[in-house]
Every structure is written in structure tokens, then in C-alpha cells.
Structure 1
Amino acid sequence: MVRELGFLHATLAATGYPASSVHAIIEIGNRQALTAVELVELLGLEKSSVSRMVRKLVEAGEIEEIAHEEDARSKKLQLSTQGKRTLQSIDSFATKQVAAAMAHLTREQWQTASEGIANYAAALQAHRLDTQPPATVELGIARGYRPGVIARVVQMHADYYARYFSFGQPFESLVAADMANLMGRLHNPRNEVWVALDDQRMVGSIAIDGEGEGGEAVLRFFILDDSARGKGAGKRLLAEAMKFCDEWGFCATRLWTFQGLDAARKLYEDFGFRLEREQEGQQWGEWVTEQCFVRPGPAVAKT
């Protein structure tokens, strides 16, 4: 990443400035104004190095010093008109650079990359400051209907698939109708729903429709809120659903998804699902390569 992003070069982001100066322009611009002391803390550099850098950027017309409203002995640094144009150029360059790289990833991989980089950055900062990152609290798993579950499951689906796959109203309406239908059939003990809970907020879901054709179960409404990803909630939800299917002795469990959801596919396959067929379709409102995965029931799997 250091090589590909250009940090080994003498200048960065097509500016003519080294990486430390580019970072200083970004931090000052994002925060409107900073003192030199605050800039030292943000950049993690020696005070003398920051002083020299600030002097050069002032001389170059990128930043200007203004009076500190609370301390007459101190000054604040803010971007000049030229500096604001430089920041716009840096942002434009970075956006194009990242977008070009991300074009080689699936939409689900975009999210994985974003979350991974953010988590690693937070860990590096915690190590540098010798602090402990916040402890990860295990999410709760609850079984059965609870007030608001229909709306919340629909919202999580609509938000995620609109953001990463541009699904719109037809998809949201389909999920809402299907979810309401299944919740209306929970009196049949072969049907069930589970949710992941952060305190009392629903941040994940999965459901089993046990009224599939030929004695099969259908796995449905498997979704996680962004805040629940990376905490093991997806694996735990799927484990609960598969335990339920095995206890009822369904001859198989079937699910429909589409190509590109690589992380979910890996999890399905870890639980014994195998791709049965693919076909082009638009049941979700957009043309995708639909995939049908099947997991044999315990009796079938033994034969």
C-alpha cells in the first residue's frame, strides 16, 4: 500500500509537497483551524519538524496564521484561498486513485476493505498512544417475534442493498411483503426468526420458512447492520437457524442469493451449503446472477 499510494515518492497526490505537508493541509482544512501544538499531536511529528513545515507552507501561500481568540500569545493556522484549492485538488486526486483501485473489487469487498482499514488504523493509534481499544461487547441473540422486527429487517435490507447494489423501491417492497407474510405464519412452529441485539437495538436477523416445497426449509432475511459486522453475529445467527433445521429434520434447507456476496457465500459454505444452480433474473428489481444454495438435512447428509 505504501508503494501503490505513492508514499515512497518525494511528493504526494500530485501537489509538489511531501506526504507530511499534504497531511497537514488535509488536517487543517478538515478542522478549519489548528494551533501548531494540535498539529504536532495529529501528525505525530517532532515540534521542530512541524515548525519548519508550517513555515514553508506559509511562505508557499498555502496556509496563513491568524490570531487565537482565547490566547493572545498563540496563533492558529488556517488554509488560505490557495490552500483551499490545493485541498480540493488533493481530494480529487485521492478520490480518483481510490475509485480506480476499488473498481477491481466487488461491492461487498468494498465494505470489507473499508472496515478493515478503519479497524487497523484505530489499532495503530491505540498502540502509538498506549491505550486500549474499546472492548468488543458480544451481541445478544433473541428468538421469536418482537415488536418492530418487520420494519427493522426491511430497513436493514433496504439500506444495505441500496448502498452497495443500487436496489430501490421494488426490492424494499418485496422484502416488506415477504417479511410480513412470514411473521404472520409464526404460529406454525416450523417457522422461526432470530435477531441479533446490541442492547435492545436489532442489528441483525435470520429466518427459517419451514413450509417449503417437498419438506424443505427456506433460509430468509439474513442481514447484518454495518455496526454488527466483524463481531461474529452472522455466524451465530446462522448456527441457530441450522440447529433449528436439524432439530426439525427438514430434508434440506434452501436459500436464494446472488453473485457478488462473497463473504456471505463463504459463511454458507462453512455450514454445508453448496451451490446448486445459477440463473439470470431480476426478482429483486435489478438484473443479477441469482444463485440457489442447498444444504442437505441430517438424514440425507448421512446417506
Structure 2
Amino acid sequence: MPNAPLADSIEAIRRAARLLVRELGFMGGDFAGGDLSPSAVHALIEIAASGVTAGGVTARDLGFLLHLEKSSVSRMLRKLVVGGDVEEQVGGDGRVKILALTEAGQRRVMAIHAFARAQVSAALARLQPGQERVVLEGLQLYAEALSAAVAYSPALPAVEIAAGYRSGLIARITQMHALYYAQNSGFGQRFESVVAGGLAGFSDRLDSPRNAIWAALRGGEIVGSIAIDGEDPGVNLAHLRWFITDGAVQGSGAGRRLLAAALDFVDAQGFEATHLWTFSGLSAARHLYEAHGFELVEERPGQQWGKEVLEQRFVRQGR
């Protein structure tokens, strides 16, 4: 039996969780500003944000990510397809159907994110300065602890964060980027070539103490990556690059752990700031960056990836 102080904490956490569920709308009525069920809202977000493996995110992937039975996923997806938010496409090998958002679905997800950001902003505005970090760190710790049973089950090897180059790293990181952005942003050969060339050149500079790269590994397979390039000429500025996770580890905390490893390195090296380039439309990534102290400082149209996008630069000041 838990001791008295621990028992008190357990009951207090349960009470807070019940209040959170009610206030977020899980008990009925409008959820996330729309008419969809919570599971459908989460499904749309995962379809929009997930990395691509074997050609795309599937109904089976959603079942794993959302902890839903196959029949529940099928019913939910049928409604989303009929409603015009999701479309099914034949996978590369012709044996599976991959899921993608329609234009209407993309607009729906943008509205969901806008509603959620406004909801969070309104709540944080009622706190004292600095308390938002307490909320963020507490929720992250609790969420990762709850998901540990899945992320570390015997049937699914634990995700390990490992520093340094390893065989196959360049090819695997390039593959994850090429597949994900081909489906979600329409990028093609030009983008893949830029990623492969830049990553190969950076790997030749890993002997510098200002540069580092990390891989997320599950069962020896590379399922995520992140790098810090600290050799921008003439400035004490860190460049965060090649941050991606495989769809198979979405929800496991692998992305947050990769980002934490990179930012710990940045802080230990004493960089004045860390910047990264991304582009408009990657809502889930932006949310993660902003949760770790990055702020949008610049936007401009760019075509270096083979398709015009609104490029965005985020900066996190040194600690």
C-alpha cells in the first residue's frame, strides 16, 4: 500500500486529471471547437503530424498511437472519409492503404490547433510569470510516465537515444525525411538530394567538439534523429538540424528526448542562441519548438526544397 503522503498525491493528481478532462470537453459537447469526437480529433492530428514509414500512416498505426481497437478505428475512419476530411491511398506495395488529409481535413486541423492554442493561452494568462514552465514540465513528466508501459513493453523494445555517427545513419535520416515530406509537403528528388548532401558534409565535421548528432534507436533500428551544427562562421550560434522521428515511435516521447539531448548539449557548450529553419504548416513541430523556448523571428518565401514554401526561422536564447 502507498504511504500516506504518496496516497494524498495520488488522489490530488486524480482530482486534477478529472477536472482537466471535463474542462477540455471530453465529457460531451463541443471538443476542440468542432463537432468531432476526441478520438477523431486526435486521429486527424496524428495523420497530419506523423512521420512516414513504408509509405505512410495506416489504420493500424492509428490504433497503436491512440490505443484503440481495430473496429473502433475502422468506424472512426469511415466517418472521417465520408465527411471529406481523410482520404485513403494505395501504398507503395499495393497491399496497404495509407491515410492522408484532404484540403478540408487540413483546414480542420489548422482550426483545431488554433482553438487549442487559444485555450492554452487563456489558461496560462491566469498564472503568475514563470508558472507556465512548472505546468509544462509537470505535464511532460506525467505523460511520459503514463506512456512508459507502451514505450517500454517487452513486445516493443525501449527507445534509446544514442550520440554519434553509426553505420547507415546518413541513408536512414535521408529516407525518413524524403518519405515524410513527399507525402506531407509534396517535396521530391531535389529535397532528398539537399538533405543527403548536407548531412554527408556535416558528418565529415563530427570531429569538432561544437558539432553533435543523436539517433533514436529501437531494437537497433534508427527511428529518429537530431543534430547540432555549431560551426556557423563568426558567431557563437548553434544550428539545430535534421530533427525527425519515425511514425512508429510517435507518442513514445522519443522526439522530446532527442530535443532535450540536443538542447542539453547546446547549454553545456555555452552557445549564445540556437536557431533552426523550418516552414509554415508543420503545426506539431512548431508546438514542440515553442514548448522548449523557441520563438519565431523570421519568415520568408523559399524554393530551395524544389517547391515554394514560407520558410520560418525559430530562435532559442542561451541559458
Query: TM class by shorter-chain length?
Result: 0.5 to 0.7
Q: What residue number does 2:279 align with?
A: 258
Measure the CA separation in 2 of the matches of 1:106 and 1:212: 36
Percent identity between matched residues is 49
1:174 alignment partner in structure 2 = 194
Distance (Å, rounded) in 2 between the aligned partners of 1:194 and 1:181: 16
Q: Deviations over 1:228-271 (max 9, x none)?
A: 11110110000000000011101111100001111111111111
User: Could you report, residue by residue, the CA deviation over 1:90-122 in whole angstroms, capped at 9, with x for unpaired residues?
Assistant: 99x737464474142459x89xxxxxxxxxxxx
Question: Structure 2: where are the runs of 5+ without partners?
Answer: 1-27, 37-69, 73-77, 87-101, 114-148, 153-157
1:42-121 map, 5 Å: 94=82, 96=84, 98=86, 99=102, 101-105=104-108
Equivalent residues, number: 195
Relative to 1, partners in 2 of residues 1:221 and 1:146: Cα closer, same or farther, differing over 3 Å? same
Query: Which of these residues, 220, 223, 226, is aligned with residue 203 of structure 1?
Result: 223
Structure 1 residues 43, 285: CA separation in 2 closer, same or farther (over 3 Å shift)? closer
**Partner residue, 2:256:** 235
- From the superposition, tell whether residues 275 and 136 of structure 1 become closer, same or farther in structure 2 (CA, over 3 Å): same
SS at structure 1 position matched to 2:150:
coil
The normalised TM-score by structure 2 is 0.55
Whether contact under 8 Å (1:106, 1:260) holds in the other structure is no
CA distance in 2, matches of 1:203, 1:147: 14
Corresponding residue for residue 222 of structure 1: 243
RMSD over aligned Cα atoms:
3.1
The answer to whether the aligner puts 1:291 opposite 2:306 as a matched pair is: no
TM-score normalised to the size of structure 1? 0.58
SS class of match (2:107) = coil
SS in 2 for 1:286: coil
Cα gap change, 1:260/1:106 in structure 2, threshold over 3 Å: closer, same or farther?
A: farther
1:269 aligns to 2:290 (yes or no): yes
Counterpart selection for 2:170 from 150, 171, 195 = 150
Any stretches of 5+ residues in structure 1 without a counterpart? 6-41, 45-89, 111-133, 299-303
Deviations 1:13-38 (A, max 9, x none): xxxxxxxxxxxxxxxxxxxxxxxxxx
Q: Which residue of 1 aligns with 2:47?
A: none
- What is the rounded CA distance, in whole Å, between the counterparts of 1:177 and 1:282 in structure 2? 17
Larger radius of gyration: 1
- Are 1:281 and 2:276 counterparts? no
SS of residue matched to 2:205: coil
Specify the code of the residue in structure 2 equivalent to 1:135. Answer: V
1:183 deviates by: 0.4
Paired residues of 2:85 and 2:108 also in contact (CA < 8 A): no
Deviation at 1:136, TM superposition (A): 2.7
What is the aligned partner in structure 2 of residue 136 from structure 1?
Answer: 151
Map of 1:193 onto structure 2: 213
Letter in 2 for 1:136: A
User: Residues 140 and 279 (structure 1 numbering): CA distance in 2 closer, same or farther, change over 3 Å?
Assistant: same
Q: Secondary structure at the match of 1:242?
A: helix
Cα gap change, 1:103 to 1:215, in 2 (>3 Å): closer
Choose between structure 1 and 2 for higher RCO, CA contacts under 8 A separated by at least 6 residues: 2
SS class of match (2:184): helix
State the SS of the aligned residue for 1:238: helix
